[in-house]
Amino acid sequence: MTGFEFGSATHAGKVRRSNQDQLLANDLMFAVADGMGGHMGGEVASAIAVDALAVAATVDTIDDLIERVEEINTEIINRGRLEPELRGMGTTVTILTNLQQSRPDRLGIANVGDSRLYRVVDDGLYQHTEDHSLVESLVRDGHLTRSEAAVHPQRNIVTRALGIDERVLVDAWELVPVVGDRYLLCSDGLFNEVHEDEIHEILTSTGPAQEAADELVERSVATGGRDNITVIVVDINAADPVDEVPNDRVTATRKALEHGDVTVEQPVADAPDGEPADPQPDEMRFDTVPTILSWRAMAVVVAVVVVVAVLLMAIFA
Ligand code: MG
């Protein structure tokens, strides 16, 4: 049976009046949800996600975990239909959990959006999840470098979230738990403020998980605190013995990236109505990544058509 020691912390930051991040941390499951949407939408969406996971309590396999996330997506959409003022709300979700039916023990990860799960390794942080964000798509396609993405003004724009589209693509992994491993779940309010090297330094220099969690949030608020910040630090302190451990800990993967990101037309506001405008220009989260790319593609098509037309006129004139 895998045993955990964990600590968590969350803070509204210095700019937002409310905290739309929510977290779940108990002996079986850890989750971070970063809500977005006008009025109270963001808070409601992230609360639906975390409450549903808390009630569910145990998960048997990663496929069950994916199903659980899909059900939460439907629940958020249905709530938005019942309460028009909540329409358009959404949330990210990143989950780390014990898989109950695995022998030997396995952990399950599921992710939608741009919250992250890291594992502390000797020389830095290993990011298990992939961000479903505009900048990540641009990095993947070679249009941005990693360091450009880290400071890009539109780095808050997500390409996948729960509550936006009836068909949600969930990335999931199954991992080997190893005693001594330290994991970090966090919302973007942490890694957009604090450099990964500094996060690594805090995670390796602080002892108990709760101390590390408090220190990370404090550092993020002190650095800028422009967004809500949520972190959960999880230490594996007991696990079934295993003969061989893969370096990345991964024993199974269910990833939807190859199917492309879900795209919808609707922008999702990332600040409740009535709150002061956020100083960052990236306050709106749009789920329309390919729009930019398709305009580029269209420009190329138009250019080709013009060239061909000119050539034909030259030949037949
Ligand atoms: Mg955030």
Residues 88-134: tens digit of each pLDDT:
899 999 999 999 887 889 999 999 999 999 999 999 999 999 999 99
CA–centroid distance, 286 to ligand 1, in Å, is 14
Comparing CA positions, the residue from 248, 236, 255, 253 lying closest to residue 105 is 236
Q: Give the chain's domain count.
A: 1
pLDDT, average across residues 248-260: 78
Highest mean pLDDT (candidates 53-57, 265-269, 303-307):
53-57
What's 194-260 look like in SS3?
CCHHHHHHHHHHCCCHHHHHHHHHHHHHHHCCCCCEEEEEEEEEECCCCCCCCCCCEEEEECCHHHC
Residue-level pLDDT at 101: 80
pLDDT, average across residues 128-155: 92
The alpha carbons of the chain give a radius of gyration, in whole angstroms, of: 21
146 pLDDT above the threshold of 60: yes
CA–centroid distance, 226 to ligand 1, in Å, is 9
Q: How confident is the model at residue 293 (pLDDT cuts 50, 70, 90)?
A: very low
Residue-level pLDDT at 304: 74
What residues have a C-beta under 5 A from ligand 1, the ion?
A: 34, 187-189, 227
Residue span of the structural domain in which 158 resides? 3-316
CA–centroid distance, 47 to ligand 1, in Å, is 14
Region of poorest pLDDT, from 90-99, 149-158, 169-178, 284-293: 284-293
Number of C-alpha atoms within 13 angstroms, CB side, residue 46? 28
Residue-level pLDDT at 275: 45
CA–centroid distance, 189 to ligand 1, in Å, is 5
CATH of the domain at 63: 3.60.40.10
pLDDT, average across residues 131-144: 93
Residue-level pLDDT at 199: 98
302 pLDDT above the threshold of 90: no
CA–centroid distance, 229 to ligand 1, in Å, is 7
CA–centroid distance, 15 to ligand 1, in Å, is 12
Residue 272 tokens read as 């409740």
Q: How confident is the model at residue 5 (pLDDT cuts 50, 70, 90)?
A: very high
Q: How confident is the model at residue 1 (pLDDT cuts 50, 70, 90)?
A: confident
CA–centroid distance, 113 to ligand 1, in Å, is 10
Spatial separation of the C-alpha atoms in residues 168 and 114, rounded to whole Å: 14
pLDDT, average across residues 163-192: 96
Residue-level pLDDT at 296: 54
| Residue where the block lists tokens 């739309």 | 20
253 pLDDT above the threshold of 60: yes
| Cut 0.75: pTM above it | yes
43 pLDDT above the threshold of 90: yes
CA–centroid distance, 114 to ligand 1, in Å, is 8
- Strands 116-121 and 90-91, how do they pair? unpaired
**DSSP class of residue 80?**
H
Quote the mean pLDDT of the chain: 86
